[in-house]
Amino acid sequence: MSCYPALFFLSGQLIRYKELGAVTFECHQCGECCSHLGLVHSIRKDLGNFHFIVYNQYTSDETEVSVDPDKHELFLDKSIFAKLPEACPFFRHMPGSEKAYCTVHLTRPDICQDFSCWRMLILNHTGRRVGRVMFRRSLVTEDAFLNRIWEECIDPLPDTDDTLWDKKVVRIITQAGYTVRQ
């Protein structure tokens, strides 16, 4: 297999920065991170007045959270669960848009505070997500061809600065027929 290095495009609004080495995490409020977190987080107890105990199914941690004062009305709108039944119990879309919000953002559990989404999103020729490059330069995929490209062409890349590495990876992946979003 010959190795090729592509171009990314950014969309959305910058919400929060999180420094991970030289890489800056930009949240675009897509909601991808929270759309299945109902499988992890559940409301253990309603303490009243928009205060709750959240239970993490994996770690058994319990965290007290409060709905942000400016998001009480948004929290009361439960329509998101018709479309995304596995969503986090505090996840909402702003009515009339696809912009995602965490209604307990100010007091969200530690696991949510530490989350850094993906560095690159990889789509196949139909636009279906087939892989994610995480911030520590690791690939998450079930696509055998993409995994082979990663092992043969990307893993051997020298440990250069992040900007140069990203450009090389994008070029390789796009020349193999994928689309990359950054």
> What's the whole-number mean pLDDT along residues 24-41?
77
Residues 120-148 have pLDDT tens digits of: 889 898 888 888 887 668 888 889 999 99
25 falls in which pLDDT band (50, 70, 90)?
low
* pLDDT at position 73: 96
* pLDDT at position 17: 29
Decide if pLDDT at 9 tops 60: no
Q: Which residue has the tokens 């400016």?
A: 70
Q: What is the pTM of this model?
A: 0.57
